[in-house]
A and B are shown apart, each in its own frame.
Chain A
């Protein structure tokens, strides 16, 4: 026997490609959306709506719209059993702070292809401001990938 490695990690994109192929072929069933997303997004939306009703909304900064794309890809670590509520609370606090500052616009979940995730539309004065908001998202702490994109509505 030679000593050459018997395992090699392929490019991480291969996993998503193969999963998509198998789903399309009917050999694998796509997972249901992780309840974390549904709950976190619902919580942020609820806070934003409540904010507009219960208190005067801070006047939105005259700036740009940005998309924050949050991906649960290879580095993502799921919450230990019984601890998902703590993450939900952190996301809720984060959403609340955006809402209070008039920075929150919309939220949704990402539907394939690719890793599961969420989308937040935010408003920020400029790129540096948007980057500060992105960096404040607790999603980073759990190994999630956060991608920031400016767009024109």
Chain B
């Protein structure tokens, strides 16, 4: 975290390309992993999300404070970028579908789980990925997604139920 703060301060001093690249290389793999899961494995969409997230993050970087980890803050930016995009995209419909999740599995445990996560309905997938893959607490998820903690918990239960149903 101290390293992150040093990187942020170095970047803010001159907004130099090298300083940005250091930030990029420290955190983009995590942002991309999150983006890939939130988009159900769509690489193009995940790359666009990461790009827009860096644009937003650099616009607001001076508001970053060391009380939170930079990576969590950046992931929060990415989640908000995605939420903004989903609101703008009328085609995205949250349809829970046990069969869709079950159809996504084919035998290899890790690949099955990734596919099953990709097939989860958006709300349940967001909470599951943040909580069970990236280690966020329900309180943090509630703040990030603008929901109450109870909703985060119920979405997690729903996601786990759908995954269990598909993977047994």
Contacts and interface: CB of A to CB of B under 8 A. Distances in A.
User: Are A and B bound to each other?
Assistant: yes
A7 interface: yes
B20 interface: yes
A19 B20 contact: yes
A15 B28 contact: yes
B134 A8 contact: no
Contact of A28 (B25, B28, B36, B58): B58
A111 B167 CA distance: 52
A6 B133 contact: yes
A15 B33 CA distance: 15
Interface in A16-46: 17-19, 21-23, 25, 27-31
Given A7-B29, A14-B47, A15-B28, A22 B54 contact: yes
Contacts, number: 80
Contacts of B114: 4
Interface residues of A, number: 25
A4 B110 contact: yes
B32 A8 contact: yes
Contact of B33 (A1, A7, A28): A7
Central interface residue in A7, A9, A10, by most chain B CB within 10 Å: A10
Interface stretch (B10-18, B80-88, B99-107, B146-154): B10-18
Nearest to A10: B32
Q: Give chain B's interface residue range (CB within 8 Å of chain A).
A: 20 to 34
Nearest to B16: A29
Contacts of B33: 5-8
B24 A11 contact: no
Given A5-B33, A27-B58, A19 B132 contact: no
B166 interface: no
B88 to A, nearest CB: 19
Contact of B17 (A17, A25, A28): A28
A6 to B, nearest CB: 6
B77 to A, nearest CB: 13
Interface of A: 1-11, 14-15, 17-19, 21-23, 25, 27-31
10 contacts: A3-B110, A4-B113, A7-B29, A8-B29, A8-B36, A10-B28, A19-B20, A28-B20, A29-B17, A31-B17
Interface of B: 14-18, 20-21, 24-25, 28-30, 32-33, 36, 43, 46-47, 50-51, 54-55, 58-59, 110, 113-114, 132-135
